[in-house]
Structures are given as structure tokens and as C-alpha cells.
Amino acid sequence: MSPQQAAQVASIAGVTQRYGEILALDNISLDLPAGQMVGLIGPDGVGKSSLLALLAGARRLQQGQIVVLGGDMRDAHHRRLTCPRIAYMPQGLGRNLYPTLSVRENLEFFGRLFGQDGAERDRRIATLTRATGLASFTERPAAKLSGGMKQKLGLCCALIHDPDLLILDEPTTGVDPLSRSQFWALIASIRRARPEMSVIVATAYMDEAQHFDHLVAMDAGRPLASGSPAELLERTGTHDLENAFIGLLPEARRRQHHPISIPQRTACDSIAIAARGLTKRFGHFTAVDSVDFRIERGEIFGFLGSNGCGKSTTMKMLTGLLPASEGEAELFGQRVDPRDLAIRRRVGYMSQAFSLYGELSVRQNLALHARLFHLPQAEHEARIEEMLERFALTVVADSLSGGLPLGIRQRLSLAVAVLHRPEILILDEPTSGVDPVARDAFWRELVRLSREEGVTIFISTHFMNEAQRCDRISLMHAGRVLACDTPEALRKERGTDTLEEAFIAWLEEASDEPPADLQATPRATGSNAPQRDPPAFSLKRLMSYARRESMELRRDPLRGILALFGSVLLMFIIGYGISLDVENLDYAVLDHDQTTTSQAYALNLSGSRYFTERPALTSQAEMEARMRSGDISLAVEIPPGFGRDLKRGAVPEIAFWIDGAMPTRADTIKGYALGLHAHYLQTLARESGAPMATPGVEIVLRYRYNPEVESLPAMVPAVIPLLLMMIPAMLTALGVVREKEMGSITNFYVTPVTRTEFLLGKQLPYVAMGMVNFVTLVALSVWVFKVPISGSLATLGLAALLYLLCATGLGLLISSLLRSQIAAIFGTAVLTLIPAVQFSGMLHPVSAMEGISALVGQAYPTTHFLIITRGVFSKGLGFTELWPYFVPLLVAIPLLSLASVAGLRDQEK
């Protein structure tokens, strides 16, 4: 290795990456120095995130070469070797966290993935949480953390294994200034402790980038310039990076940018937004504590505060999304009423998280909103074009919005919020993650709306230069408003140089949380990260996934309850619901003869318990009509002259008309009818005293295994396999696809966990849960339904275990192949319900089937387990007789697992 190479943590050569029609990276070649803080800056959607994901090994490289930590990232072996040395924090607020798990559990999960033992984990978690100020929130579920706290937790998760390369994709987006400075201080102190660690960061904050060692400015999938911040300033002849950034852009882009000037606002006495003692409590937690403000029409009112201080909650109360616990909010002098649709038309709201339809294109999202807000039809086209233009969305107009970079999605949300020309705009951190040029463009639009159209703007932000532009700002902390005045007055009040300093001073004063303890910075444990090969298969990693999965299951007890009580309920329903003999079939007689003989024949039928007699028929037409309506399913037609013909020995014919619409029932009716007819003939013979035929054959019928022909003993052994297939398969089917949809699948891409470990780890908890289900069902059968087990319980238990491995394996296979949860649910229903109910011998034996259904039936695990349950329950069998049916299950388990492993990608496409 030459010294030149040694000095690089990553080198990128000729990389091109294309998603559909969008060229994300355009033949890019770049060397990134090692042991430094490298920043990627550039407008939204220029390929920064793509590049970071490629460096982390989370995405598959399409073209070119990327060498990270001395190895080719296309090589799966090298990726497995290096991924313990890389930490990757993807874009978005806590996308890779597990929302139902607590802060500690999230951290423990990552620690286990990297093979840390309990003591080491505890020590690292303690130092990391202290350093980030999360120490007092370790038991809070990730879902209940504010955006900034999620980012901090994401960083802790990334840092837990002492990486040599830290890749952060916009880590401070949406983080308040105080936390942001703590965040960078933390990274700086880690770097002091481990100078060999390289950090690659993408950021939209130029003031952050100012402090990096090396910057790469990107545009349109290519690097524009690289060098130290000082070099970039020099090259562009500017004083600050924000301007340097603009200066580096191509001429066309640069021309779109103008400095913002804010005209003086003329005071207005009408109040657009007012809050009086507005309070919101969640249980014992007070999120917003008697907040008051009055905002004039046309005012730009800034809302600043630390993460989780109640800004978003206040905004939601103003829009009517959340009811206030106390106090009141007014818009245009009217109390906020969530049912008032007219008010909604006058308000534009943009929430913190992207909440538009990712599966629709940018243009479709705009068009949908134009229609829903009832913009005049003639205006649609022009207004949508105007929005596309103003928010620089024209290029991506026909791309699916879900796949767009964060900054562009934010711009789309903004466009949607202002599309219908609302009189009030309530914007929750609208510019988080948006690049400086687009941010300024957006602010020009806000100023225009405020000054020219008198739109009232209520905006929260973490950017101090944006706060500076507001007419008034309000500082919030822990649910209370600390100060509210013009930016200049606030700065003067604290006597600081900048608004940011004033803001931080206020927060520090008000904060009762212990400040982040930077001395607690994690020290490197070894000289360097472990260089030895991570084991190809690690039970520890497998168990860390299994443990996490079962924790999530515990957090969602309703799922367990549904699975358990649901199967008990179903067993009752099916056990009692299907009885084996058909009774009370409706029939009617059409007696053309009306003699005592014919009436005697009819009487013979009405005595049967199988049939229920309905009013007699009078004509052929009536017979047809009543059969058509389903009123009767059997009509018995006695011909004219029946009595006479019988006496004369002319062999009259009785016609049995059977409704054949449902063939199984028709068969049963046919059987019963012929039986009754035979009975009549016997009675006739006895009564007439005529010599009956000599004794014929007597068939002695013995129903084996269920001599009384009861429903329960027949159904119970059949229901258990059905339930143990459907429920575990459904539970695992969502396992992988859910992570794909929510984004936490990235953890699997970039940690040393293998596909097998990942899948088995997800499977085990559900197998365990299935066994609990199995034991319950067996107990229920034996003690409640009184269907005893006549064979070997151990055999049944072993078979159930294997069967559950098949069922959960099938679910995982579906899950690893599909991409959406809806498809996984439907796929599971289609691929388990129908084969298990229809092809596996529950009602019709598999030997009776032909064609595809026979093939499916013979291969499907339910078929074999059903034979085993019936054998053990009803036939008193054990392993010696039933072992052949274990073989298909044993074959199916590895096949299903292999197919799932093959179906699961280990990198994003």
C-alpha cells in the first residue's frame, strides 16, 4: 500500500448510479482523505446521499469502483470484513431506529450485533447517553422522542462499536442549535480520542461545514470543487461558505439566487392567530404549558425552541389536529373547530415529517391537492406549473415523491401547503434539510406572501438566519414560552452578539437537564477496531435479532393476545360449526295422485330427521320457482295414478328433483332420498305380506377412529394444523417487509449480520410463540373439547415444532420477496388459506385431487402435519408409524430458508 493510498479512507473511480430516468451520480471520481472530517455540500438531490450509501455498502454499486478502507465495496467478502469498522447513519429522523423499543433497547440491539458482552455494552451506553444528554431518557420508546433526540440516538447507535469510518447523512437536520453544538462537540471529542477515525458528513448547514477539514461541493451528480473550507473561500473570493456555495454553482443556478430583502410591515390591527392559556397534557406529561400569543394578520411569526419543547404540539392544536387540554386557540377570531371545513381552506399546514403520498408523483400530489382544495378547474394547470417553477420541482415533476431526497420532499410539502393560497400558513420546520439556495428562494416567497398578500405565517425553524427574518419570534422550552419579541430586541435583552448566542443562553438558563457531559466521551477500547474476520455465522448476532423481534412482540401485546385467543376462538367456531351429518334439509312434495297410497309415501319422508317438510307443491311451475329461490332443495314428485299403478304392478316412477347448485349437498340429499325410498320398499313388502327377496347381503358399517361420528373428534385434529399455519405465517410475513417499508432494513445492510442470521433471528420468536399456541390448542382439545390424545404426545410436539418452522419459513419467504406490507398480507392469505383449507386433506383427501391441486397438496406442509395430528389424536399412533410424514417437513424447512435467503437482497438496489 503506497502512502498516497494509505492517506485515503475511500477512493471513488468512475462511479455512475442511475435510478430510473434520474442520474444520481454521473461518472464521479473522488478521493476522500483518511483521519479527517470530510463534508459533502451541495443542493438537494445532487447525489450526496447516494454516494454515502454506496460508501457504507448499503446500496449496490451499478458502475465504477469504490474502495473503502482498502478494499473493493463490490466484493461481498470485503463488505463483511469492513462493515464492523463502518458506521452509517441514514437520512431522516430516526429512520433506522425501532420505534417501539426504548433508547436503551435500541442501543443494546446495536451493541449485540457487534458482539459486545453485557458489561461492555452497559459501559458504552452509559458514556454515549451521558455525552449526548440522553441519559435521563434511556427508558423512553424511540417513537416518543423528539426529532432532535432521535438524531442523537441514531448517532449513539452508530458510535457504539468504535467505527474507523463514520458516515453521517445530514445528521443535524431538524436538531435545535443547542443540541447541534453538543452534537459536534461530541464528535470532536471522539475524534480527539481516536484521531484515526474518518468522518464523512453530508450537511445543509454551511456554518457546520465551515469547521470541517475537507469539503466536497457537489452538483448534478458531479463534484464541483474540493478542498479545505479556506481553499474554497479563496477560490470563490467570498467571506462565508454560504456565499461560496452559491458562488460554486453553475451560472444558471446562481442567477436564480438573490439576496433577500424584507420590506417593512405595516401594522395591522386584526388578529389572525391567538392562543390563550393553551395547554396540552399527555397523561402526566405536560407537553405545552399555558402558552399565549397573538399574531397579527400578515405577520411572520417565528417559533424557536429546543427539540421536544412542544412546538409541533402547539401547531397541531392550532390546526385542530390535536384537541387542547386547556385554554383556547383562535384563527381569524373563531375558536379552532376540527369540523369546520371552511377554516381548513384558509389554512396551509406542513408537518415535520413528510406526509404526502410517496407512491404518487410530484405532479400528481400537487394535482390531487388542487382538486381537494377546489381550486377553479381552469387555474389548475397554471397554478401547478407555477408551484413547480417556484419550488424548483420541474425536473422531478414526474418522479415518485417517495424516492426523492429529503430536501426536495420538503420543497414539495411546502408547495402543497401554499398551493391553495391560504391566508394562514402553519409550517413546522419547513426548511429542515433544504439546501441554502432553495431555502432563500422559499423565504422570498414567504416574504412576498406576507407583505403583498397579507398572509400570516407561523413558522418553526432551527436556522438562526431564518429566525432573524421573522417579524417576531417566540422562544419555547419544555412547553413554556421563555421570551417573545422582535429578533433584535431579544438579542439586546441578553446582550449577546448574535441571536444564536442569545438563544443558547436562554435555553441553558431554563434547562434543568444536565448539560451533555463531554468528559464522558467514549474512549477507544482497543488500539483499533478488531481486524480479525467476523465469524461467518454468529449465534450472538442471530439472537440479537431474535431478542429484538421478541421485544417488539412484547411491546405490542395485542398481537400476542390476538394470536392466542384468536386461535382458541377459531377452534371453537370451526369445531362446533361444522357438523358431519346434514339435517333439516327442506323438501316439498308434489303429489299428482292424492290417494292414500301416495300420502303414505309422503308420510314416509316426513318422518325422517334429515328432512323438514315445507308446504306441499301444487304444480310443476311452483316447484321450479321454489327451488330457484332456494326455498326447497328437494322436490318429490309422485306421478298421477301412483296408487293404481302400484297395485297393478305397473312400476310407477317417483321423481326426486334435487337442487344441484351445491354438489356436496346434492350428493347428501341423493343418498338420504334413496335410503328413504329403500325403507319405503321394505315397509311395503312387509305390509303386503309378499315374500320379500331372500335375505341379501348385509353390510356392517364401522366408522373407525370416531365410531359415534361426532363432529369435534373429526374437526379438532384438522383445525390445529390450519391455525398453526395461518397465524405464524402471517406474523412472520410482515417481519422483513415491514423493515423495508419503515427503513430500518438499512441496519441489516450495513452491519455484519448475515442474511441467514437475520432471517433465523426473525423466525425464532414466532416459532416460540407458535409453540405456546400449539400447547394451548392441545390443552383446549383435551380438557375443553374432551378429544383425547390416543397416541404419542411427544411425536405430536416434535412434529408441531417442525411444522411451525415450515409455516414461519413460508411467511419469511413471502416477506423477503415482496416490498409492501399490503402485498405481504394478501400474499400470505392467498398462499396459505387456500392450500391449507382446500388442498391439504382437511375435508377432501389429497389422494382424491388431481392436477395442480394434487401437486400443491402433496408438497404442502399442512398435508403431512394433518396426517400426524389425526394419527396421534384419533388413531393412537406414534413415531414408529408416523415418521415418513416427518420427512417432507424436514425437507421443506431448509428449502424455504434457502429460498428466503436467495430472495433477500443484502444491499439496496
Partner 1 sequence: MPSLGNILQLGIKELRSLAGDPAMVLLILYAFSLSIHTSATAVPESPHRATVGVVNEDASALSWRLIDALQMPYFLPPESITREQMDTGMDSGRFTFTLDIPPDFQRDLLGGRGAEIQLNVDATQISQAFTGAGHIQQIMNAEVAEFLARHRAEPVMPVEAVIRTAYNPNLDRAWFGAINSVIDQITMLSIILTGAALIREREHGTIEHLLVMPITPLEIMLAKVWSMAAVVLVASALALRLVVQGWLEVPVRGSLELFLLGAALHLFATTSMGILFGTLARSMPQLGLLIILVLIPLQILSGGMTPRESMPELVQQIMLAAPTTHFIQLAQAVLFRGAGVAVIWPQLLALAAIGAGFFVIALSRLRRSLQ
Minimum distance of partner 1 from residue 768's CB (angstroms) = 16
CA atoms within 13 A on the CB side of 225: 18
For partner 1, the closer of residues 189 and 838 by Cβ is 838
Calpha distance 392→390 (Å, rounded): 6
Q: Which stretch binds partner 1 (CB under 8 A): 281-289, 479-487, 672-680, 892-900?
A: 672-680
**What residues numbered 479-508 form the site for partner 1, per CB under 8 A?**
none
Calpha distance 340→463 (Å, rounded): 33
224 binds partner 1 (CB under 8 A): no
For partner 1, the closer of residues 42 and 841 by Cβ is 841
399 binds partner 1 (CB under 8 A): no
For partner 1, the closer of residues 266 and 584 by Cβ is 584
Whether 25 and 38 have beta carbons less than 8 Å apart is answered as no
For partner 1, the closer of residues 113 and 877 by Cβ is 877
Calpha distance 827→865 (Å, rounded): 22
- Output the CA torsion 407→412→418→420 (10° steps): 180
> Which DSSP letter does residue 776 get?
H
**What residues numbered 880-899 form the site for partner 1, per CB under 8 A?**
881
Interaxial angle between packed helices 377-390 and 406-419, expressed in degrees from 0 to 180 and rounded to the nearest 10: 140
- What are the b/e assignments for 491-528, b being 16+ CB within 10 Å? beebebeebbebbbebbeebeeeeebeeebbbeeeeee
Residues 6+ apart with CB under 8 A from 848: none
For partner 1, the closer of residues 110 and 672 by Cβ is 672
Residue from 14, 230, 268, 357 touching partner 1 (CB under 8 A): that is 357
- What are the b/e assignments for 672-700, b being 16+ CB within 10 Å? bbeebbeebeeebeeeeeeeeeeeeeeee
> Which DSSP letter does residue 85 get?
G
Minimum distance of partner 1 from residue 181's CB (angstroms) = 29
The stretches of 780-860 forming alpha helices (DSSP H) are: 793-817, 821-828, 834, 851-859
- Which residue type occupies 400? L
For partner 1, the closer of residues 297 and 844 by Cβ is 844
Q: Which of 461, 391, 363 is nearest to 44 (CA)?
A: 391
Minimum distance of partner 1 from residue 251's CB (angstroms) = 38
581 binds partner 1 (CB under 8 A): yes
Residue from 195, 263, 277, 358 touching partner 1 (CB under 8 A): that is 358
Residue from 511, 756, 821, 858 touching partner 1 (CB under 8 A): that is 821
Residue from 149, 200, 546, 673 touching partner 1 (CB under 8 A): that is 673
Q: Which stretch binds partner 1 (CB under 8 A): 15-23, 218-226, 236-244, 344-352?
A: 344-352
Calpha distance 433→467 (Å, rounded): 16
**What residues numbered 614-643 form the site for partner 1, per CB under 8 A?**
625, 627-630
- Which residue type occupies 471? D
Report angle CA 624, 630, 636 to the nearest 5 degrees. 50
Calpha distance 445→427 (Å, rounded): 13
**What residues numbered 703-722 form the site for partner 1, per CB under 8 A?**
703-707, 709, 714-715, 717-718, 722
Minimum distance of partner 1 from residue 630's CB (angstroms) = 6
Residue from 45, 430, 752, 827 touching partner 1 (CB under 8 A): that is 827
Q: Which stretch binds partner 1 (CB under 8 A): 250-258, 295-303, 818-826, 886-894?
A: 818-826
Helix (H, G, I), strand (E, B) or coil at 292: strand
Residue from 193, 536, 834, 890 touching partner 1 (CB under 8 A): that is 834
20 binds partner 1 (CB under 8 A): no
Q: Which stretch binds partner 1 (CB under 8 A): 225-233, 268-276, 379-387, 849-857?
A: 849-857
Helix (H, G, I), strand (E, B) or coil at 864: helix
Minimum distance of partner 1 from residue 561's CB (angstroms) = 9
Minimum distance of partner 1 from residue 322's CB (angstroms) = 9
Calpha distance 455→471 (Å, rounded): 13
Q: Characterise 766 by phi-psi region: left (phi > 0), alpha (psi -120 to 50), beta (else).
A: alpha
Calpha distance 220→880 (Å, rounded): 70
Phi, psi dihedrals of residue 294, rounded to the nearest 5°: -130, 120
Residue with C-alpha cell 357438523? 579
For partner 1, the closer of residues 421 and 665 by Cβ is 665
317 binds partner 1 (CB under 8 A): no
Q: Which stretch binds partner 1 (CB under 8 A): 141-149, 214-222, 267-275, 864-872?
A: 864-872
**What residues numbered 725-764 form the site for partner 1, per CB under 8 A?**
726-727, 730-731, 733-734, 738, 741-742
Minimum distance of partner 1 from residue 850's CB (angstroms) = 7
294 binds partner 1 (CB under 8 A): no
For partner 1, the closer of residues 526 and 691 by Cβ is 691
582 binds partner 1 (CB under 8 A): yes
252 binds partner 1 (CB under 8 A): no
Compute the chain's Rg from CA coordinates.
Answer: 37
Residue with C-alpha cell 400530489? 365
Calpha distance 306→137 (Å, rounded): 15
874 binds partner 1 (CB under 8 A): yes
Binding characters for partner 1, 642-661, by CB under 8 A (x = yes)? ----x--x-xxxxxxxxxxx
61 binds partner 1 (CB under 8 A): no
324 binds partner 1 (CB under 8 A): no
Minimum distance of partner 1 from residue 674's CB (angstroms) = 6
Residue from 35, 115, 454, 566 touching partner 1 (CB under 8 A): that is 566
- Which residue type occupies 172? T
Dihedral sign (CA 13, 18, 19, 23): positive
For partner 1, the closer of residues 283 and 691 by Cβ is 691
359 binds partner 1 (CB under 8 A): yes
143 binds partner 1 (CB under 8 A): no
For partner 1, the closer of residues 600 and 895 by Cβ is 600
Q: What is the maximum alpha-carbon separation in the chain?
A: 127
Helix (H, G, I), strand (E, B) or coil at 413: helix
For partner 1, the closer of residues 35 and 879 by Cβ is 879
For partner 1, the closer of residues 7 and 661 by Cβ is 661
697 binds partner 1 (CB under 8 A): yes
Q: Which stretch binds partner 1 (CB under 8 A): 79-87, 221-229, 404-412, 826-834?
A: 826-834
687 binds partner 1 (CB under 8 A): no
> Total residues contacting partner 1 (rule CB under 8 A)?
156
For partner 1, the closer of residues 536 and 580 by Cβ is 580
787 binds partner 1 (CB under 8 A): no
Residue from 848, 890, 891, 898 touching partner 1 (CB under 8 A): that is 848
Calpha distance 814→833 (Å, rounded): 14
60 burial type by CB count under 10 A (0-12 exposed, 13-18 middle, 19+ buried): middle
Instruction: Determine how β-strand 347-350 pairs with β-strand 424-428.
Output: parallel
Calpha distance 316→349 (Å, rounded): 9
Residue from 126, 578, 782, 895 touching partner 1 (CB under 8 A): that is 578
Minimum distance of partner 1 from residue 625's CB (angstroms) = 8
